[in-house]
Amino acid sequence: MKTGFRRWSATMIFVSATTSSIFQRLGLRGGGRTIDKVRRGTSVFAEAASSDNNGSSSSPPNFSTAAFVNLGYSSVYNIDDASSSSNSSSSRGIKVRPAFARRTLSTNGTDTDSDGDGKGDDDDDGGLVSECDYDYLVIGAGSGGIASARRAATYGAKVAVVENGRLGGTCVNVGCVPKKVMWNAASIAETLHDMKHYGFSGYDSDAISFDWSFIKQNRDKYITRLNSIYMRNLSNAKITSLPGLASFTSSSSPHAISVTVTPTNSDQPTTTTVTARHVLVATGGYPTMPEGPGMQHAISSDGFFDLNELPQKAVVLGAGYIAVELAGVLQALGTDTSLVVRKGKAMRTFDDMLSDTLDEEMLRQGIQIYRDTAGLERIDVDEDTNLKTVTLHNGEVITGVDTILVATGRSPLVEPLDLPSVGVMQQNGTGYILTDKLSATNVNGIYALGDVCGNVELTPMAIAAGRRLADRLFGGPAFEDAKISYDNVPTVVFSHPPIGTIGLTEKQAVQQYGEENIKIYRSKFANLYYGPWQVEPDDKPKTGMKLICAGKNELVVGLHAIGMGVDEMMQGFGIAIKMGATKADFDACVAIHPTASEEFVTMFPWGLSNQVTGAKVTPLNGADAAQPVL
């Protein structure tokens, strides 16, 4: 752990917002068929601190965010909870967005029939129907599922969620959140290794040590807390929780979809069948394992979070973001780490600048990379030492290994659902559910999103898709065409160093627009953090950045970066690219100095691109700032 230069040390550890706090930003509490409470909080943690176990609060609603800034706190839309007359919020008028008050609900929760057509005020356009147990049944309590369920509840829909595991799905339990905790720990280790370059001493003494069990225990407590917050959020929204495995079954009504829920806990009631007008499949995915002798001695990426001790020697199999992230964490914390890839390098689907730079930096960190292996052939275990020998298909052998982590891919978790029984179409060979741009399957009333569809498998993508689906189904005419875009989605890989990317790779841009219509801007430099280091310039870690522009207007169609801090700079650039920024727009933004991100707005040659903007209000040539429409 103490040899060589530890790369890409973070000068500050940023604590990213968890999926739960993202969900909490909606800030609405649905009450079954009625809405009894609307409250706004800065984050789920702030709310948890100010609320009792039932999520109640003595403070008045806070409508401080943009969505509510013009609504005030009055009784214009007075929605009472008849079943809770003692609730202070139900006895006061709560003003909510018109979309939430549009639907008029009868005492039994069905639509009123004010137009007298016998179909209810929502007619057949996704309206609430009394013949079903629920208006909306969500299978899977992960990021997309819970986001969609809670949004639907704010519109007055009767919602239930089926889940067989811990709430929060992959991201909260064995994905983004615990991974970022471990990445933070690894970044601290790298900073400690670098401290001698800033005049600090003591790294080589026994005063500094790392306790894996300590961070694991506190990380697990944090995840358990998030699980509890998810459960409280569902309860506050009056969403029914149905623990168990869900599977589709035939329905006697053309307007209802039947789902059987089979409990897996012996303390739970017997199997039940429920019906809903709309059903969302958001069950996520699971890690796949290769076949071969001794594979039972390997762990998946999920198993990484069950490790009770820091491995001494680990082999990580895989070439995707999960593999490089976990390999980087292990190496930084002191594990002798090897990365096994089937072909020439990891992250092959990313821009070559990113994958090549990452490859160089992993080697500098001491990670041994086995290339062109064609994968894992077998695992043998020494019965005396319990150490493992890894044999690869190309004949190479790795000995003395105590942990083998397989991160070679994931598959959609759809087998228990019995999708063929109701005719839901799936992709041949993969099992991914086929949907249209509105998250609808080929079966009326059944929808799918997130990892079960295989299209941009990212937590925020599933959240956005889930909310927009609920808007379209229950939000009324204003949202009848609501959908999300899967184009230009920014993403970050928490490797060491981190990667940020959005848009097309250079190869994709050339293929789509033609090489003659593409212009590339590149920069490679040592971050100022490494300035005081008294080492050869070539030995200092480098940051790589690339802008890919297309057409005469030099529209930015791809932005890629690798290096210290790029994980925290990508969100803003993502907004610019989603809005159609050009190279001239980037140049028109004055740099923030000294930062790494300023490189993107000072790419050579600066200010000489065609003066064409992608903005609705031009920022070019010293133009006045945009003004709000009042």
Helices (H), 122-271: 143-154, 169-174, 176-194, 212-236
Q: Is residue 5 part of a domain?
A: no
Selected catalytic residue, list 255, 278, 496, 593: 593
Lowest mean pLDDT segment, chosen from 50-54, 181-185, 206-210: 50-54
pLDDT tens for each residue of 193-213: 999 999 998 888 778 899 999
User: What is the spatial distance between Cα 597 and Cα 594, in angstroms, rounded to a whole number?
Assistant: 9
Quick one: how far is CA 501 from the chain centroid? 15
Contact 247, 417 (CB under 8 A): yes
Domain membership of residue 275 (yes or no) is no
Amino acid 265: pLDDT: 77
Query: What band does 57 get if pLDDT is binned at 50, 70 and 90?
Result: very low
Helix (H) or strand (E) holding 249: strand 245-249
β 272-281/134-139 pair status: parallel
Residue 155 tokens read as 């519109």
Predicted confidence (pLDDT) at residue 365 exceeds the cutoff of 60? yes
Higher pLDDT, 411 or 33: 411
Question: Which tokens sit at 462?
Answer: 């599933």
Would residue 301 count as lying in a domain? yes
Q: In the chain, what is the straight-line distance between the N-terminal and C-terminal CA atoms, in Å?
A: 59
Q: Which of 408, 437, 463 corresponds to the end of one domain? A: 408
Residue 366 within a domain: yes
Q: Which amino acid is at 152?
A: A
For this structure, is 496 an active site residue? Answer: no
For residue 64, the 8-state DSSP code is -
Domain boundary among 374, 408, 442: 408
Rounded-to-integer distance, Cα 540 and Cα 168, Å: 40
Q: Any idea what DSSP says for residue 421?
A: G
pTM: 0.79
Using one digit for the tens of pLDDT, what is the confidence trace for 496-533? 999 999 999 999 999 999 999 999 999 999 999 999 99
Question: Residue 311: helix, strand or coil by DSSP?
Answer: coil
User: Is residue 537 domain-resident?
Assistant: yes
The domain in which residue 519 lies consists of 498-622
- HSE, CB side, 13 Å, CA atoms: give it for residue 401: 23
CATH number for 319 = 3.50.50.60
Residue 576 lies in a domain: yes
d(CA 29, CA 31): 7
CA angle 550, 553, 554 (to 5 degrees): 40
Q: How many CB atoms lie within 10 A of CB 517?
A: 13
Which has the higher per-residue pLDDT, 622 or 156? 156
Tally of domains within the chain? 2
Q: What was the pLDDT predicted at 130?
A: 62
Residue 88 tokens, joined: 């202070």
Boundary-marking domain end, from 408, 432, 456: 408
Q: Is the pLDDT of residue 382 over 90?
A: yes
Predicted pLDDT at 624: 85
**pLDDT surpasses 70 at 295:** yes
Residue 395 pLDDT class (50, 70, 90 cuts): very high
Alpha-carbon dihedral sign for residues 209, 213, 217, 223: positive
pLDDT tier for residue 2 given thresholds of 50, 70 and 90: very low
- pLDDT above 70: residue 22: no
The pLDDT assigned to 621 comes to: 77
Is 133 part of any domain? Answer: no
Q: For residue 300, give every residue at least 6 positions away whose Cβ sits within 8 Å of its Cβ, in sequence order, or none.
A: 287, 289, 405, 406, 407
Indicate which CATH number applies to the domain containing 508: 3.30.390.30
DSSP annotation string for 502-543: EE--HHHHHHHH-GGGEEEEEEEEE-GGGTT--S-GGGS-EE
The answer to the question of residue 492 being in a domain is: no
CA neighbours closer than 13 Å in the CB half-sphere of residue 239: 33
Cα–Cα distance, 441 to 282 (Å, whole number): 12
Q: β-strand 368-370 against 336-340: which pairing, if any? A: parallel
Q: Is 285 helix (H, G, I), strand (E, B) or coil?
A: strand
Sole residue written with tokens 């739970």: 268
pLDDT band at 603, cuts 50/70/90?
very high
CB contact set of 302 (below 8 Å; sequence gap of 6+): 174, 286, 287
Buried b / exposed e over 196-207, threshold 16 CB at 10 Å, is ebeeeeeeeeee
